[in-house]
Amino acid sequence: MLQVTDLHAFYGKSHVLHGVNFHVAGGEIVALLGRNGSGRSTTVKTIMGLVEGAGAVAFAGQPILGLEPFEIAHRGIGYVPENRDIFPELTVHQNLMLGEKGGAGSARRAPRWSFEDMYRLFPRLKERQHTEAGVLSGGEQQMLTLCRTLMGDPELIMIDEPTEGLAPKIVALVADFLRELKRRGMAVLLVEQKLTIALEVADRCLVMGHGQIVFEGTPDRLRADAAIRKEWLEV
C-alpha cells in the first residue's frame, strides 16, 4: 500500500533523512520507533508533503512525493499531527464534520466510520459535542484530532505521538482506539514513544536512528533484541 524508497529529507540545508526504506501493507500496523531527533516525525511529514524530500514514495502504486498535502490526503492518506491542529472556535461536532467533508473515499463507497463510531470510541466527545474545541483538555483534543482524521475515511492513517503528554487514563483510551483500528483492518503508520503500546498493537516495528532505519522486525524480535533497544531506544 505504502512504499518508501531511498527517502531523503531536508530542513533548508540540513539533511535529516538519509535513505529511508520501508513499506506498510494493507491492514498492517507498523510502529516507527526511536529517540527524539531520530527522524520519525520528519518521515511522516515528508510522506505527507509537509517537508521537502527526495527519493520515492508510492501509495497504492502511484507516486506521491512532491504532491501538495491536500492532494495526498485526497489519495487516501490521513495524518494526525503531534500538535493536534484542531479548529478551536468550532465545536467538537463541527470539527468532525470538517473531517467528513474531506473524506477521500466518499465518492467510491460508503464511509467506514460514522459520528456514532467516534462517540462510541470516545464517549467524552459525545458529552462535549457542542463545546468549542479550544476549551477542551489536551487529552480531549487528542481524541478529537484522531477522530476527525478517521472521518475522512483514509485507506492509511499516519499517527504522530498520540499519547505524548497524556494522563494514564487517556493513554489507555488511545490504546483502545489503536486496537479498534487493528480490528477494523486499517493500515497504520504509528510514531510512538511508549514502547509497551507500540509492541502490543503493531504487526512490525521499525527503529530509526540518525535518519535511517536501523531495525525492522516483529514486536517479538524487538523484545528479544536487548542490544537494539539499548542502543537506539532506551534513555
Kindly state the percentage of the chain with pLDDT values over 90.
80
**Least confident span in 42-46, 101-105, 211-215:** 101-105
Average pLDDT of every residue of the chain:
92
Grid coordinates belonging to 49:
508533503
- Cα–Cα distance measured from residue 65 to residue 54, given in angstroms and rounded to the nearest whole number: 8
Q: What is the pLDDT of residue 108?
A: 56
Q: How far is CA 138 from CA 38, 83, 132, 157, 230, in A?
A: 25, 10, 13, 21, 31
Q: Looking at the chain, which runs of residues are DSSP E strands?
A: 2-11, 14-24, 29-33, 52-59, 62-63, 77-80, 156-160, 187-191, 204-209, 212-217
pLDDT tens digits, 157-205: 999 999 988 889 999 999 899 989 989 989 999 999 889 989 999 999 9
Longest CA span, the chain? 50
- Cα–Cα distance measured from residue 91 to residue 148, given in angstroms and rounded to the nearest whole number: 12
What is the reported pTM?
0.92
pLDDT tens digits, 14-36: 999 999 999 999 999 999 999 99
Closest by Cα among 54, 72, 52 to 64: 72
pLDDT tens digits, 107-161: 556 778 999 999 999 999 999 999 999 999 999 999 999 999 999 999 999 999 9
Q: What is the pLDDT of residue 104?
A: 43
Better pLDDT: 2 or 183:
2
Residues sharing a CB contact under 8 Å with residue 39, sequence separation 6 or more, in sequence order: 9, 16, 17, 20, 208, 210, 211, 212
Q: Per-residue pLDDT for 12 more than 60?
A: yes
For residues 195 and 2, is the Cβ–Cβ distance under 8 A?
Answer: no
Assigned CATH topology for domain 2-232: Rossmann fold (3.40.50)
DSSP 68-84: -HHHHHHHTEEEE-TT-
Q: What is the pLDDT of residue 224?
A: 96
Residue 7 confidence class, pLDDT cut points 50, 70, 90: very high
Q: What is the pLDDT of residue 74?
A: 93
pLDDT tens digits, 68-117: 999 999 999 999 998 888 999 999 999 999 988 544 444 556 778 999 99
For residues 178 and 99, is the Cβ–Cβ distance under 8 A?
Answer: no
Q: Is the dihedral of CA 37, 32, 197, 72 positive or negative?
A: positive
